[in-house]
Structure 1
């Protein structure tokens, strides 16, 4: 009998091991299927989904146009009326250019009497003028004094590139095209060629290099201002850097630091380009900074928490683990976890427009009880969960850092997740698909500095192109003591 019991026990262990292995494979398969064929919110990034949505909209419009072309002429008026119904008004801030269409004759075609104006039919269309190149001629009249034989003229204003060909507007256009529109310099060169303007890539490269040097003090000051905040988001994303010695690329990292919007101050984002994912880079950037750092569970941040930085975990990452499990096979425990996390986010949505004190009161009343109930529920599940499985990992991820997950609800200013910094990184991730790689470490650092300023301008509701042009005009003669006035930050309304 003892031999049979041992055999049964061994078979049970083998079955349990196979079940765990099967669970892992099911999770992996579900993840790959969703990446390939999925349509849910976690399947593709927003940018990837819009590619398919745009194609579908284009196909629908093409089919409708073909139907309109084959429809009887008698229905033309009705079709036009339907097409214009519900059209959004064009923005009021845009310049209006009036094009008047007078009838061929001011006399009635039947009785030949003079027509009298009784009103106007106004139809607005949106138009655009592509990048228009023009030449600025700076004319400085020279005046002589016959008495003392001296010549007087207006001084030449300092410029970002002294004696350079490019005006601030052109420099801003090149920078915006490269860093926000993600156009490589050879495409910018081709765009200029279409208007018979020769802009060699070597010239464009020189402009970008000098522009980066000119804007570096602003980027450095922005980083200093960011470190004055009491709580920050942080994340890192890989980028490719050219390795000339080996004729291929190597992996580098763009470390990203974002201010916490719930603090109420103007938002900021700062990118720090580094050649590795070592936690040393985060420690060097934050230096003596102490506050709440909202991050994922990457080990590179752990040393910071030993030095006095306070860890704040991200509920979006915790949710993702349960979402993977639920997507693999409608797991009832994962489904319940998603519902509980969803209730936490619903409370945050209610408190979005509140002040810090009101939000803290809301969280104390609603979020804290939800979190306590979730903690007790997870602790009750833990003893009955098989080690090594997907559910065990999802639960362990939360329980192991529970104080960091629950801490936000004790305040009114800490964020529930790290999504703001991930959203700030996403446009740059799109750009790397066009750039393919950074040509050098210096190029990566230059891109990070310029992206920090342009990204912050966007967060503050400023037009990055207008801000950059204005800043490049002012920067050469601007006193360093007033550098904060040039930062792309909106003014805080007085309370």
Structure 2
């Protein structure tokens, strides 16, 4: 008869081994799923690189795959850790992610572990250093607040008894309790990171610095007033362009009894697509409504090509009797494509519970034909206007002519109530089609107005955080700060670092040297010091 105790121990050992095998199997499965998700994401990114960023369906798919990959990698890490706890067998092969080296500009702090004083094998104290192994760990130091005490010593004269003292230091704002870096942080978090002042005040209080909402608001107003001359220079640079991108978006405005829908307009200069050397810049304007009088006022005295959507409010700019002359419209092919894409989006229809068979074959074909134009544009981006125009005449013009003919043939067979008929009418409208084909006559024109739409993305994100503009002046102040921050980003510089330096220097510079502070002329303090040395 077998011993019950030994049988029980045997069963326990078998159970432990089974649990270990199960944990290891789960870890392998989780790792495999993460690997598959990573490969899918890599394939999607390669497709996007090949077919371009205009593939909206691909962009959505990439977002979904990135989220899925994040979850699966996290699950795999948990399962691997659990497997290591429950088994003593050799770990299964798992492809570890390749970590990029930490940026070279970050300071390094050496923490040296106390070295052994004797050999771990024989105990001898005759040991000699032969090298070292370094493991780097990224760490962050919490924000450090400090008070700068500027001391002005007083001296009295033994002869005349007059008191001598250095002049008071310059403060960026009239009630100068805040330094330039703090002011830059406050305004950048409010307008660049969309953190309302009340949330900033709460966070500062948790860090031991009590700054009231009214105190912060007072400084924001002072900074906006301080930076107006720089904003005016950027606006003059933008309106000196021969071609502009224009667009607008909604902004909730606090009004009696609730909120009303105001507007934030953007006008962007970017000559880089046609090889221009002028630096990019953007200005924003605020208005209480979307009336056509606003773009007419914003672009008063300007003449050139306006890339925008088909909003009728721009029509006064296009009038032949306008002074100093009519603005030429160039419409956005992304808008035209989107109207067809919505009718050809298989995944979108399935998500909405519709049958995939409801996809319009006409819309699907229209998207394919328009995408062929985008392929050509990606190849000629950055070339000078003459080279772009030559390529468009040879390659794009025949495709556009064939597209127009095909759309008219399809439209003749459709009811006016058909959804795809409305998409066709939008493109072929006598008021719109010349604007869509403008790019075939001018190498400076872009195929889309995506540059203006990108400049408004931050505003769309911010609406969820700050909920509404508190007043019309608040909206105008936001437009000013968005112009400064947006222009800094377009020129590839850190907006907060730039604002801190500008706030510190702008009052000391004569008006003639103010252009030195523009984003495309600005240099960080370290670079200026190196050049001076």
TM-score between the two structures when normalised by the length of structure 1: 0.84
The reply to whether residue 318 of structure 1 matches residue 330 of structure 2 is no
Inter-CA distance 106–113: structure 2 relative to 1 (3 Å threshold): closer
Aligned to 1:99, the other structure's residue is in SS state coil
Q: CA deviation at 1:181?
A: 1.4
Distance in 2 separating the partners of 1:174 and 1:58? 32
Match of 1:453 in 2: 484
Q: CA deviation at 1:139?
A: 2.2
The reply to whether residue 399 of structure 1 matches residue 428 of structure 2 is yes
Match of 2:493 in 1: 462
1:258 counterpart (259, 262, 268): 268
Match of 1:489 in 2: 520
Alignment of 1:41-440 (within 5 A): 42=56, 56-72=68-84, 82-83=95-96, 85-105=97-117, 107-147=119-159, 149-243=161-255, 246-261=256-271, 262=273, 263-306=276-319, 307=322, 308-327=326-345, 329-400=358-429, 401-440=432-471
Gaps of 5+ in 2: 1-53, 350-357, 524-533
Distance in 1 separating the partners of 2:72 and 2:302? 54
Report if the CA contact (8 A) 2:247-2:267 is conserved. Answer: yes
Inter-CA distance 433–41: structure 2 relative to 1 (3 Å threshold): farther
Inter-CA distance 44–251: structure 2 relative to 1 (3 Å threshold): farther
Aligned to 1:347, the other structure's residue is in SS state helix
Distance in 2 separating the partners of 1:196 and 1:341? 57
Aligned to 2:456, the other structure's residue is in SS state helix
Deviations 1:44-88 (A, max 9, x none): 997x995x66764553244223212321357798579843x4212
Inter-CA distance 396–77: structure 2 relative to 1 (3 Å threshold): same
Report if the CA contact (8 A) 1:266-1:490 is conserved. Answer: no
Aligned to 1:105, the other structure's residue is in SS state coil
Deviations 1:139-167 (A, max 9, x none): 23344554554444433332221342111
Report if the CA contact (8 A) 2:291-2:313 is conserved. Answer: yes
Report if the CA contact (8 A) 1:108-1:114 is conserved. Answer: no
Report if the CA contact (8 A) 2:282-2:486 is conserved. Answer: yes
Deviations 1:279-333 (A, max 9, x none): 1110101001000000111110111111300000100000011112223623222
Deviations 1:79-131 (A, max 9, x none): 79843x42122222222222222424365552414332222222222222232
Inter-CA distance 126–364: structure 2 relative to 1 (3 Å threshold): farther
Inter-CA distance 181–105: structure 2 relative to 1 (3 Å threshold): farther
Paired residue total: 448
Deviations 1:219-258 (A, max 9, x none): 2221111100010111111111111xx3311111101111
Report if the CA contact (8 A) 1:313-1:417 is conserved. Answer: yes
Pairwise CA RMSD of aligned residues? 2.7
After TM superposition, the structure 1 stretch with the greater mean CA deviation from structure 2, 282-291 or 350-359, is 350-359
Gaps of 5+ in 1: 1-39
2:474 counterpart (440, 443, 453): 443
Match of 1:37 in 2: none
Inter-CA distance 370–43: structure 2 relative to 1 (3 Å threshold): closer
Report if the CA contact (8 A) 1:159-1:476 is conserved. Answer: no
Deviations 1:453-475 (A, max 9, x none): 01110111010110000000001
Aligned to 2:112, the other structure's residue is in SS state coil
Report if the CA contact (8 A) 1:255-1:271 is conserved. Answer: yes
2:505 counterpart (469, 474, 490): 474
Deviations 1:343-369 (A, max 9, x none): 111111111243333333322322222
